[in-house]
Structure 1
Amino acid sequence: MNDQINELQLKIERLENEISFKNGLISILSHDSKEMFGNFLRLIEALEDNIIGEEDFFKLLPQVKSDAQKNLQTIKDSTAWLKTQYGDFQIKPVKIMVIDLFYHFEEKYAVKLKEKNIKFYFKGDPNAFLITDRFLLESALDKIFNNSIKYSWSGQDIYLEQVTKGDQVMLCVVDFGMGMNEKSLSTIFTYGNPIFLGTAGEKGVGLSLKIVKNFVSLMHGNIDIISSESKGTTVSLFFT
C-alpha cells in the first residue's frame, strides 16, 4: 500500500513539474520573441524616419545579434524538449561509455574552450558506463557543460567527473567560475530567477537547467547543484 502511495505521489510531482515547465516555457517564448522583434522593428523604423543615422544603426546591430542568438538558443532548447513530449518518443536505454561522453564534448566545444583558454579534464574510471537514453543524457550534459564554459573565466579548468557507489553512477560537471550565491541557487529551477551574463557577455534565458532537470527526471535520475559565488559550480547527475 505504501509503495502504491509513494508511486502515486511521484507521478503527481512529475505532472506538477511538467505543467510548471510548460507554463514557464510558453512565458519565456512569448516574452523574448515579442521583445526581440519589437526592438528590431523599432530600430528599423527609427532608421526609416531618420531618427538615427546609418552609423548609429550599425553600432546597434551587435546588440540585435546578441538578442537573436539568445532567442535561437531558446528555440533549440524548446525543440529538444518537445521531442520528448510528442509523437512516438520513448526512452531507449543503451550502454554509454562515460569516457566517450567526455571525448564528444571535448570535440564539440573545442573552439569555445580555446577562445576562453579553458582546459577540460576527465576524472574517474575510463571503463565506467551507464545504461540510459543517449539523447536525454547527451542533451542534459550539453546544457550543463555549455553553462560551465559560459560562466568560467579565461584560463580556468572544467572537468567531467565520474563516481560509482554501489549500483549508483554519478556524473559531475565541475567548474571554478562565477558561481552563485544561496539566494540565486535556491531559485535556479523557478521562472523568477535572475538571468546572468557569462564572463564574456554571453546571454542566456535561464531555461537550460530546467530542461536538464526535466530530462534527468525522464531518465529516473536525480540532479544536485552546489555553487559558491566566485568559486564555481558543481552539477551532479545521479543514476541507478
Structure 2
Amino acid sequence: MSHDSKEMFGNFLWIIEALDQKTISVEDFYKLLPHVKSDAEKNLRTVQDSTVWLKTQYGDFKIKPVRIKVMDLFRQLEEKYAKALKEKNINFFFNGDQSGSLTTDRLLLEFVLDKIFNNAIKYSFPGQEIYLQQAISSDKVILSVIDLGTGIDQKYLSTIYSYDNPIFNGTAGEKGVGLSLKIVKNFISLMQGTIDIISSEKGTTVSLFLPKFNE
C-alpha cells in the first residue's frame, strides 16, 4: 500500500513539474489527468478498506448481530452502484424470498457484499446481468453474488486471498487494489461464516455461508 501511494503521488508530482517546466503541453497535461484520477481513487479505496479492517483488529472487537432484510442490501447496492451499472448497461436482479432476512453484523456484511459486488461489475461486460441470490439451508443463510463476466482462471483461484495473487483490470480498464478479498475473508470469519467461489469462462458465483444467529 505504501509503495502504491508513493507511486501515485510521484506520478502526480511529475506531471505538475513537467507542466511547470513546459516539457509537456497543457493539452497533454489534461490527457494525463484521468489516469491520475484513477490512481487516486484506487489508493483512496485502499486507505478506506484498511481503516475498516484495522477497527476489527484492535481492542476487544465483537460482532453485533442485528436483523437485516436482504432486499435492503439489494437496494443499497443498486443505489450505490447505479452509475456504474448504467455506464456498463448491466441489469441487477434479486433471486429469492423478497421478505427474507438474516441476523449478523451489518458493518461487516455490507463491507463484504460491497467488495464482491464491485468486482462483479468490474469483471462483467456491457449488457450482462448480475444477481444477488438468497437461499436457506438447515443451519445457514446463503447469499450469492452471481455474474456472467470474464471469470477467474482456475490456476489463480487457490491464491485469490493471498498477496501473491496478481491484480487484474476490469473489462473497462477498472483498476483493482488487490486487498479487498483478503479483508473479505477475514470479515466472513469474524461473522463465523465461510466463502466459496466458483468461476469459469461463463462467469463467477461468490457465495457466503452465514450462520443463523438468534437475536
Amino acid in the other structure paired with 1:147? N
The Cα shift of 1:204 comes to 1.2
Identity %: 70
Match 1:48 to one of 20, 24, 28: 20
What stretches of structure 2 of length at least 5 have no aligned partner? Answer: none
- What CA deviation, in whole Å up to 9, does each residue of 1:159-181 have, x standing for no partner? 01111111111110000011111
Is 1:209 aligned with 2:184?
no
Is 1:62 aligned with 2:29?
no
The Cα shift of 1:200 comes to 1.4
Is 1:111 aligned with 2:83?
yes
Match 2:134 to one of 126, 142, 162: 162
The DSSP-based 3-state class of the residue aligned with 1:57 is helix
> Which structure shows the bigger proportion of residues in helix conformation?
1
For residues 113 and 121 of structure 2, what CA distance do their matches in structure 1 show? Answer: 12
Q: What's the C-alpha RMSD, in Å, of the aligned pairs?
A: 1.5
The Cα shift of 1:101 comes to 1.3
Report the counterpart of residue 234 of structure 1 in structure 2: 205
For residues 222 and 50 of structure 1, what CA distance do their matches in structure 2 show? Answer: 55
After the TM superposition, which residues 127-142 of structure 1 pair with which residues of structure 2 at under 5 Å, given as runs?
A: 127-142=99-114
The DSSP-based 3-state class of the residue aligned with 1:40 is helix
Match 1:172 to one of 139, 144, 152: 144
For residues 33 and 96 of structure 2, what CA distance do their matches in structure 1 show? Answer: 45
Is 1:37 aligned with 2:25?
no
Amino acid in the other structure paired with 2:209? F
For residues 58 and 49 of structure 1, what CA distance do their matches in structure 2 show? Answer: 15
For residues 17 and 86 of structure 2, what CA distance do their matches in structure 1 show? Answer: 40
With structure 2 as the length reference, what TM-score do the two structures score? 0.92
With structure 1 as the length reference, what TM-score do the two structures score? 0.83
Amino acid in the other structure paired with 1:146? N
Q: Which runs of 4+ in 1 moved over 4 A?
A: none
For residues 133 and 33 of structure 2, what CA distance do their matches in structure 1 show? Answer: 40
The Cα shift of 1:83 comes to 2.2
Worse-superposed segment, 180-189 or 132-141: 180-189
The Cα shift of 1:183 comes to 1.4
For residues 98 and 34 of structure 2, what CA distance do their matches in structure 1 show? Answer: 43
For residues 87 and 21 of structure 2, what CA distance do their matches in structure 1 show? Answer: 40
The DSSP-based 3-state class of the residue aligned with 1:153 is coil
For residues 111 and 70 of structure 1, what CA distance do their matches in structure 2 show? Answer: 17
Amino acid in the other structure paired with 1:238? F
Report the counterpart of residue 17 of structure 1 in structure 2: none
What stretches of structure 1 of length at least 5 have no aligned partner? Answer: 1-28
Report the counterpart of residue 181 of structure 1 in structure 2: 153
The DSSP-based 3-state class of the residue aligned with 1:80 is helix
Worse-superposed segment, 174-183 or 127-136: 127-136
Amino acid in the other structure paired with 2:171? T
For residues 233 and 87 of structure 1, what CA distance do their matches in structure 2 show? Answer: 36
- What CA deviation, in whole Å up to 9, does each residue of 1:16-73 have, x standing for no partner? xxxxxxxxxxxxx211101111111222222333322222222211111111111111
